[in-house]
Chains A and B, each alone.
Chain A
Amino acid sequence: MTVSVPPAEQRRGGIFKDTWVVARRGLKHMIRQPEALSDVTIQPIMFVLLFAYVFGGAIAVQGSNYREFLMGGIFAQTIVFGAFNVAIALAYDRANGAIDRFRSLPMARGSVLAGHALASLVRSVLPITLMSLCGLIVGWRIRDGVVDAVSAYALMFLFTFAIIWVGVLMGSLLPSPEAVQGFAFAIIFPITFVASTFVPLNTLPGPLQTVAAWNPVTSMSDALRELFGNRRGFVPEPNADWPVRHPVAYTFIWIVGIIVVCAPLAVRQYSRTIDD
């Protein structure tokens, strides 16, 4: 028996097909390595419980109870951490030869990165669902109607998609999975804390407050609180920084900015890095 394979001239591919093949592979990896999912499952749940029951009592929030306030922040932080896994997945691919295998194939340019990004986006459904359930259990509620709630979830996926491209860029720049991990802890971890993630902005000391006000993790957290109706009693001061008064719009600007800057940079950097 011989299977007849169409000759090279007659084969037609495309970026969408190739992207989907790579994404499917990425999803299989996730299912087959459940231990690697701990950072988007166990870790965020642990954060919810820790802050809801251990630290929460010590943090006062204007116009809301702390557990309501907390969820917006944890959603934002989990998205930032979770999306970074794409960087590690890419670094592993480079370390173990998968990238060279892909590059020796007639694939559409950019489809390896796009496939990783797509798999990461699909995967983010898991932590966002788990977080929501966990939040509901500790007393968080969606209070502002369906449209706002849908907008909140849509914003989360858009934010995830943007952060994934930061991850792809990191995965293309940094030489090894260990380096990615180091970078995540040294840079990303603090960024998610110098924000309104766990505490209201006005509890931070002066200069840090300004930094936090412009931090997209703050605006993402606040945007979710606003859309879910978790900060009804909160009234920003009239002279507060613009992002504090317009968290949804400011977050959206970041999302667009990140994608426009990082995606092309990542594709370029990626083909450069792996050339050697």
Chain B
Amino acid sequence: MASNAAIDASGLVKRYGETVALSGVSFDVPRGTVCSLLGPNGAGKSTAVRILTTLTEADEGTATVAGLDVATRAAEVRSRIGLASQDATVDGLLTGRENLIMIGELHHIGRRVATERAAELLEQFSLVDAGDRLIKTYSGGMRRRLDLAATLVAHPEVLFLDEPTTGLDPRARNELWDVLDILVDEGATILLTTQYLEEAERLADDIVVIDHGRVIARGDSRSLKRQVGGDQVFATVVDPATLGRVSELVGRTAGAEPEIDEGARQVRAATAVGPRAIAELATALAEAGIEVEDIGLRQPTLDDVFMTLTGHHAEEVEEGADE
């Protein structure tokens, strides 16, 4: 089992003074798959990544990456991984190319190979034109792309991407996803952390949901959503007085107990029938002669998952707990 896993974490515990960042986290990532650690700020995602990338030591528990123990064979682990995180970024006062070459040299692949590899990566990540500009002139999206390129210099066996799209605008995020798709297609083993279910769903084969330093659920996005109750059908009414009637209709079409949000003049309910629920609801509303502003289907969010799994919202834990 362990020999087949690119990452194998077992019972990881990490405390920072009073704060318990991880209290016994276990999971494994098979080679060639993409796993996402999903959870709110402060859940312990970054701490797990820091332990697996040898940046910090676990207080308890063991972990192997590429079959090597991170505590006892840290140097060998480091030559087989790539890490991109907001805490480990490229150098603003070097050009993109210089950054990539430097990282290659520090991976000891030789200056000549590092130079060739840098050129190759700049092309692959559409940064050829920006390659000889200082990083500090890059946009957030470009910088993140270079961060990713930097992790790939020495052909790592396992990639760690800590919140790769946090802080990016939607366009830059989509661009980055496209780049990540390439990596996934090439068969890299990737551990990625994110706060967005949508991102985990888009990129990962397997999702590990973390909260307060514990694994609270695991599975692919479909099974997680099933736990939440699948997609939600919703209707936003024009006249708040009609909320009660609409709630009945939504409940009937969705086949589940509806929830009324008076502030938003909205009724929603989990549904297993997908888009058909919209059609049926639209017909029912038209027959009843109730005017609505909007009806639709929406995917459950991380917050819904959390509500279902833990009974509390995916609130942000105190600043610093995830450091």
Contact = CB atoms under 8 A, between A and B. Distances in A.
B117 interface: yes
A25 B94 contact: yes
Interface in A144-173: none
B107 A106 contact: yes
Contact of B105 (A3, A21, A28, A100): A21
A33 B102 CA distance: 19
B113 A3 contact: yes
B218 interface: no
B120 A1 contact: yes
A17 B117 CA distance: 19
B214 to A, nearest CB: 21
Given A98-B89, A98-B91, A105-B78, A3 B116 contact: yes
Contacts of B129: none
B93 A28 contact: yes
A2 B103 CA distance: 18
A104 B83 contact: yes
A30 to B, nearest CB: 9
Interface string B97-128: 01000110111111001001100100000000
Given A1-B120, A5-B113, A104 B93 contact: no
B71 to A, nearest CB: 13
Given A5-B155, A21-B105, A33-B93, A100 B55 contact: yes
Interface stretch (A8-16, A44-52, A252-260): A8-16
Contacts of B102: 21, 25
B19 to A, nearest CB: 11
Contacts of B85: 97, 100
Interface in A80-121: 96-98, 100-107
B93 A32 contact: yes
Contact of B108 (A32, A101, A106): A106
B303 interface: no
B255 to A, nearest CB: 49
A107 B107 CA distance: 7
A6 B80 CA distance: 12
Nearest to A24: B102
Nearest to B147: A101
Contacts of B88: 97, 100-101, 103-104
A106 B89 contact: no
A237 interface: no
Contact of B120 (A2, A18, A29, A105): A2
Contacts of B80: 8
A6 B98 CA distance: 20
Interface in B140-195: 150, 153-155
A9 B120 CA distance: 23
A276 B16 contact: yes
Report which residue of A5, A33, A102 has the largest number of chain B beta carbons within 10 angstroms of its beta carbon: A5
A3 B75 contact: no
A73 B82 CA distance: 49
B86 interface: yes
B81 A275 contact: no
B109 A6 contact: yes
A29 to B, nearest CB: 5
A28 B89 CA distance: 17
Nearest to A275: B56
B164 to A, nearest CB: 14
A276 B79 contact: no
A5 B112 CA distance: 10
Interface of B: 16, 53-57, 75-76, 78-83, 85-94, 98, 102-103, 105-110, 113, 116-117, 120, 134, 150, 153-155, 323
7 contacts: A21-B102, A98-B91, A101-B88, A101-B91, A106-B75, A106-B76, A276-B56
Given A5-B117, A13-B106, A103-B88, 17 more contacts: A8-B79, A11-B154, A25-B91, A32-B93, A96-B92, A100-B88, A103-B54, A104-B53, A104-B81, A105-B78, A105-B103, A105-B106, A106-B75, A106-B76, A106-B78, A276-B16, A276-B56
Which 9 A-B pairs have CB atoms at the shortest separation, nearest pair first? A100-B88, A13-B108, A11-B108, A106-B79, A97-B89, A104-B83, A106-B78, A101-B88, A8-B79
